Amino acid sequence: MVNVLEFYKNKKVLVTGHTGFKGSWLCKILTLAGADVIGIGLEPVDDICLYNILNIKKDINSIICDVRDLNALKKIFTKYKPEIVFHLAAQPLVGESYINPVYTYETNVMGTVNVLESIRDCDSVKSVVNITTDKVYHNKEWEWPYREIDELNGFDPYSNSKSCSELITDSYKKSFFKNNDKLAISTARAGNVIGGGDFANNRIIPDCIRASMANETIIVRNPNSIRPYQHVFEALNAYLLIAKKQYEDKMFEGSYNIGPSEDGCVTTKALVKLFCKSWGDVGWQNKNSNNSFYESNILKLDCSKIKNILGWYPTLNIEESINLTVEWSKAYWLNKNMDEISKLQIYEYFKIT
């Protein structure tokens, strides 16, 4: 693995969506790397969340701000003058996007516009990574993995809004940043991430953990759906590598799929079986989905581009990813020192001594 963390020492890094699951882990990793981190995000909806558990705000400049507020965003960029921007702020749930499509589009589409507009007025920024999703592609329910050159056209409001975010980023690059040799912008299309500290509803691994802690049978809605599952550290390491590489050389900017090795593209049923094996003394049952909305059955990613161009490869197999998640989750429910547990997992993954 390419260890990228030394690069971030003393770098000024802005993270939107820093109160979310991936944003909180990213901020923790960056602070351990010695970066000066500015976080922009909403107040967490629930008290039990990774952001609060790790007390992220004590180590960063944490600013509660909605990315839909352009004027507020511009003031933050002007004040802090970041060098590197990771844009993670989003309404991230497919089911919620059917319930609140307007909010989803406002956040995921206009939020992207507002971040890019703020960057236009901030000449300190040299490297930007807009994190979208593997669901940006027009899903044709085929066995072949999607490549970065395949059609963008997400079906549901969440996926579609992220497809729009990709197109907006490309338009801004061509319209406003094409001749800016000091600024590079990429998009990252990551597969389904798992890991300790994810408490979201209607996500399979958090649902498994809640059921296990309550001594209940795990309910699986779509056991035959195939997704590219990977540990959150794998995706974050790729984001960090993309930002570093294009900071050093604009030629590396582009769009990148980020997904697991072939063993990570598994059915929900296979994922749950591995979880039950890792957790121990827990069972599951299939219950037909009552969803009134469409969800794709097969989704795989071709990650040849990031492997060949940036030298990034996943290092955890699916069983190791689940074991890390179970380890963190059991420690949390046993009231252990989660700051230390989290640091140890980061240190081990990133080979920090």
User: By the 8 A CB rule, do 228 and 264 touch?
Assistant: yes
Contacts of 332 (CB under 8 A, 6+ apart): 53, 196, 197, 338, 341
Q: Which entry of 8, 146, 158, 247 is annotated as an active-site residue? A: 158
First-to-last CA distance in the chain?
15
**Residue 200 identity (one-letter amino acid):** A
8 is catalytic: no
Q: How crowded is the C-beta side of 207, counted as CA atoms within 13 Å? A: 15
What tokens appear for 324 in the block?
Answer: 């890390």
Backbone CA torsion sign across 201, 338, 57, 37 = negative
What tokens appear for 202 in the block?
Answer: 């209607």
CA–CA separation, 86 vs 26, rounded Å?
Answer: 9
Q: Where would I find the beta strands (DSSP E) of 191-305? A: 192-194, 218-220, 226-231, 255-258, 265-267, 284-286
How does 287-323 read in b/e, with b if 16+ C-beta sit within 10 Å? eeeeeeeebbebbbbbbebbeeebebebebbbeebbb
Which amino acids are annotated catalytic? 158
